[in-house]
Amino acid sequence: MTGAEELKASSETSQEDLLRYEQVKLLYGAIPVSIVATLISSLALVVVEWKVVDHTMLIGWLVGLLIISAARVLTTVAYRRAQPKPAQTSMWEKFFLVGTVASGVFWGSAALIVFPENSLPHQLFLVFIVGGMCAGAVTSLSPIRNMALSFLLLALTPLIVRFLLAGSEMSIAMGLMLLVFLILVSFNAMLATNRVVRF
């Protein structure tokens, strides 16, 4: 490799590192709004489901989600205090991914833990809340594709499976519509990521 080629390769690597640095910076910048949305949505779900779901399960689920949210806030504070350089981006991206996966798992677990078995209106409200969180994730997590897709798959797949396995005409229709929603929002997340990268 000639000196000119080495210089070009070094320059390209630096540009990629800088792009990833800016993408991760955008992710952490969106955390405050994401946490507020999580708090409002989770509290609304608990209040609405209070009469139809076991209180211990509701409170346990809510506490778990609040702990994850607190950890994400603390990670964001640490990120801002550290003011990491582009070379340190990988570590902070991994921290963010762990928080995203944990959040997605807990929203997905709602289909198992706080699912209102005998009330279709309450089931629809659960779908509305989880779907809203997923729609918000498309924008807040779009700077890096695997962040958005991880959350979407983890949050929606349990609900889709739950409705499809229920076997009734209505539940199968709801499961299929949720599957379509997952495909569409995932596609939009990928488009949004491409726009961020080109920018």
pLDDT at residue 125 tops 80? yes
CA distance 181 to 136: 13
48 inside domain: yes
2 inside domain: no
Tell me the pLDDT band of 193, cut-offs 50, 70 and 90: low
Q: Contact at 8 Å (CB) between 142 and 189?
A: yes
pLDDT at residue 196 tops 90? no
168 inside domain: yes
22 inside domain: yes
Could you tell me the residue range of the domain that residue 100 belongs to?
13-198
117 inside domain: yes
7 inside domain: no
CA distance 100 to 149: 10
Nearest to 174 by CA among 165, 164, 184: 164
Domain count, the chain: 1
119 inside domain: yes
- The rounded mean pLDDT for the chain is 88
pLDDT at residue 5 tops 50? no
What would the pLDDT profile of 45-88 be if each residue is shown by its tens digit?
A: 999 999 999 999 999 999 999 999 999 999 999 999 999 888 88
Can you spell out the DSSP letters for 4-49? HHHHHHHHHHHHHHHHHHHHHHHHHHTHHHHHHHHHHHHHHHHHHH
85 inside domain: yes
Give the pLDDT confidence score for residue 37 in this predicted structure: 95
